[in-house]
Each structure stands twice: as structure tokens, then as C-alpha cells.
């Protein structure tokens, strides 16, 4: 058993799935959970994600040797501030936040030097458009990548323990430098979510929106599934990785303008070439991404909802 007591701060999809996976593998003795809302804590207990709910962060982390912070990234400011006052001396801390630079800044602002050394930032590249404790599953991370972004203060053996913890969930671990993580994820995750929200909004603002949504089919569903993701989580990600996402949005807008120009001039040859190029890139790269643990289609996709 790797850890005798795991404290979850945030008992939703990401925290709950880690707890389930570690319990299933027998790698954790007890799981104590704190989340801001009482009903979420009680749901996490009822669903077997945690052994017992705690009424405060201090109560949750008492006696813990591993603390996993899995709240929306902006809420981590207050969470890390509270943790600084109550973290047991031997506890390792890691997180699952989708942005790393802002989270590391928050950790540096709140934690003592000794606590910071034991904070190993991370990000599982696995998830879904549903959130909350009900969405958690033991196999969410199996076959997926988890990116660790160790900081210079970390000790190699602590990073190795967090790596081993994620390996136990079936994930494959990679390390990236903090700023590089935020640059890459702005492209692969944050831009697609922003584009999906914008696409749904564009259609929703049409006068004939009811008719449009009535006839929305597979293409609309595939493109916009992720616009059903949690708005608070995505507000926080957008604000925390604002500069990188602005660059990606400009880049995307330039492509839309380019396509618009081709269409305006009815240049069929150019349009076909443009689509050929994009198809070739996706056909070549997507199987690689899937083999690397890209998310399988969600249940919502499979059932056609």
C-alpha cells in the first residue's frame, strides 16, 4: 500500500476517480474527502468514493500522507492558503488542475519552503463533459497520459512517489516544464473547448435556433460535446491561461478568415486542397493520439444523446 490516508480536496470527477482507482488497486488505506458543498461530500461518501466526509480542509488532511487538490483552478488559491496552516509535516501534495503556471504561482504564494518542496503539480489528460461525484469512475485514467510538471523545489523521490501513484491508476506519466504544459494544453484542450462553446453560442443566437437544434446531427454532436463541460471549471481555465489561449484563438480566427476568403471567392480548388490537408493531418495523427490514450468516445456519444 502506497499511502495510508488520502485527503481529497474536491470530491468530483477528477478527485473521485483517483480515489476509486487507488482503492481498487489497494494502494490507499483510507480516503477522507472535503468539498465546499455538504451535499457533494455526502454524495461522494454514498457513492463509495470516500470513506468519510470532513467538515473542513484541516479535518480532511489531519493524519493524511497524500493530499490531492481537485477543485477548479481558481478555488485552489483559497485551498492552498488553508493547507499552509494545517498540512501534516510528512504529507505529499499534488493536484489535477488543467492549468499549471497559475497553480504553481498560488502554491509559491501560500506554502512554506518545506511545504512547497512536497507539492508536485500534475494534470491527468483524461476527463469528460460531465462533472461531480456521480461522474467519477475507477478506470478514468487507465491508458491515459498524466503530465507532471515538477518544480525546482521538489525532491526527486517525492516526484517519483507521485509518478508511481499515477502509474497505479493505469496512466502513463510524462513530465513537462510548467510553461510548456500551458502552451501545449492551450492548443490541444483549451482552444477546442473555447471553439465548442462559441459554436453552440453562434447557433443559439440564430432566430431559427429551435429549428437548427432540431436538425442538429452527428457533426454538431461531435464538435460540441465538450460545450456541456462545467462552466466554472472552464471560466477558471480560460482566465488562468488567458495569454496562451488568446494566441490560439487568434491563430484559429486566422484560419476561419482564410476559409471565409476562399469561400467568398468561390475557389473550389483551394477549398478542396485546404480540406485535403486538414484531413490528411487528422487521419495521420488521430490514431497516434488514440493509441496514446486520447479519450474514448463518451457514453453520451455512444448513445447518440
Ligand X SMILES: O=C(O)C(=O)C[C@]1(C(=O)O)C=C[C@@H](O)C=C1
Interface ranges with ligand X (CB under 6 A): 98, 125, 127-129, 189, 226, 229, 295
Interface pattern 106-125 for ligand NAD (x via CB under 6 A): ------------------x-
User: Residues 6, 22, 79, 195: which binds ligand NAD (CB under 6 A)?
Assistant: 79
Residue 71 near residue 232 (C-beta atoms within 8 A): no
CA separation for the pair 61, 43 (Å, rounded):
19
Cβ closer to ligand NAD: 78 or 216? 78
Orientation angle between helical segments 191-204 and 242-264, nearest 10 degrees: 50
Question: Judged by CB under 6 A, which stretch of 11-19, 176-184, 190-198, 253-261 contacts ligand NAD?
Answer: 11-19
260 near ligand NAD, rule: CB under 6 A? no
8-state DSSP, 190: I
CA separation for the pair 55, 38 (Å, rounded):
8
Cell of 231: 462552466
Question: Judged by CB under 6 A, which stretch of 5-13, 23-31, 171-179, 191-199 contacts ligand NAD?
Answer: 5-13
Cβ closer to ligand X: 11 or 131? 131
245 near ligand NAD, rule: CB under 6 A? no
Strand order in the sheet with 119-120: 52-53, 28-34, 3-9, 66-69, 92-95, 119-120
131 near ligand NAD, rule: CB under 6 A? yes
125: Cα separation from own chain's centroid: 6
Measured CA to CA in angstroms, residue 294 lies from 72, 171, 190, 259 at distances of 22, 12, 15, 28
148 near ligand NAD, rule: CB under 6 A? no
Cβ closer to ligand NAD: 9 or 200? 9
Least Å from the CB of residue 66 to ligand X = 21
User: Looking up cell 510548456, which residue turns up?
Assistant: 180
Interface pattern 21-60 for ligand NAD (x via CB under 6 A): --------------xxx--x--------------------
- Strand pairing report for 145-148 and 122-124: antiparallel
94 near ligand NAD, rule: CB under 6 A? no
Residue 304 near residue 221 (C-beta atoms within 8 A): yes
Q: Which residues bind ligand NAD (CB under 6 A)?
A: 9-15, 35-37, 40, 70-73, 75, 78-79, 96-98, 124, 127-128, 131-132, 230, 233, 237
Amino acid at each position: 500500500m502506497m499511502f495510508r490516508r488520502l485527503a481529497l480536496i474536491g470530491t468530483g470527477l477528477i478527485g473521485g476517480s483517483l480515489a476509486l482507482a487507488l482503492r481498487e488497486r489497494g494502494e490507499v488505506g483510507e480516503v477522507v474527502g472535503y468539498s465546499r458543498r455538504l451535499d457533494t461530500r455526502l454524495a461522494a461518501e454514498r457513492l463509495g468514493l470516500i470513506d468519510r466526509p470532513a467538515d473542513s480542509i484541516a479535518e480532511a488532511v489531519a493524519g493524511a500522507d497524500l493530499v490531492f487538490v481537485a477543485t477548479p483552478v481558481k478555488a485552489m488559491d483559497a485551498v492552498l492558503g488553508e493547507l499552509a496552516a494545517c498540512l501534516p509535516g510528512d504529507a505529499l501534495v499534488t493536484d489535477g488542475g488543467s492549468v499549471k503556471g497559475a497553480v504553481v504561482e498560488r502554491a509559491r504564494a501560500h506554502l512554506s519552503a518545506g511545504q512547497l518542496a512536497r507539492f508536485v503539480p500534475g494534470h491527468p489528460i483524461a476527463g469528460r463533459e460531465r462533472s461531480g461525484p456521480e461522474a467519477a469512475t475507477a478506470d478514468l485514467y487507465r491508458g491515459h497520459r498524466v503530465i507532471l510538471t515538477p518544480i525546482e523545489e521538489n525532491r526527486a523521490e517525492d516526484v517519483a512517489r507521485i509518478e508511481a501513484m499515477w502509474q497505479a491508476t493505469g496512466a502513463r506519466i510524462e513530465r513537462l516544464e510548467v510553461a510548456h504544459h500551458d502552451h501545449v494544453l492551450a492548443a490541444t484542450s483549451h482552444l477546442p473547448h473555447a471553439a465548442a462553446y462559441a459554436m453552440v453560442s453562434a447557433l443559439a443566437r440564430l432566430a431559427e435556433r429551435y429549428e437548427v437544434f432540431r436538425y442538429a446531427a452527428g457533426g454538431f454532436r461531435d464538435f460540441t460535446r465538450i460545450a456541456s463541460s462545467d462552466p466554472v471549471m472552464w471560466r477558471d481555465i480560460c482566465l488562468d491561461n488567458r495569454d496562451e489561449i488568446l494566441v490560439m484563438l487568434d491563430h484559429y480566427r486566422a484560419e476561419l478568415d482564410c476559409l471565409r476568403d476562399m469561400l467568398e471567392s468561390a475557389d473550389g480548388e483551394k477549398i478542396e486542397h485546404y480540406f485535403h490537408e486538414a484531413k490528411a493531418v487528422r487521419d495521420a495523427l488521430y490514431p497516434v493520439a488514440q493509441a496514446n490514450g486520447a479519450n474514448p468516445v463518451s457514453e453520451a456519444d455512444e448513445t447518440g444523446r
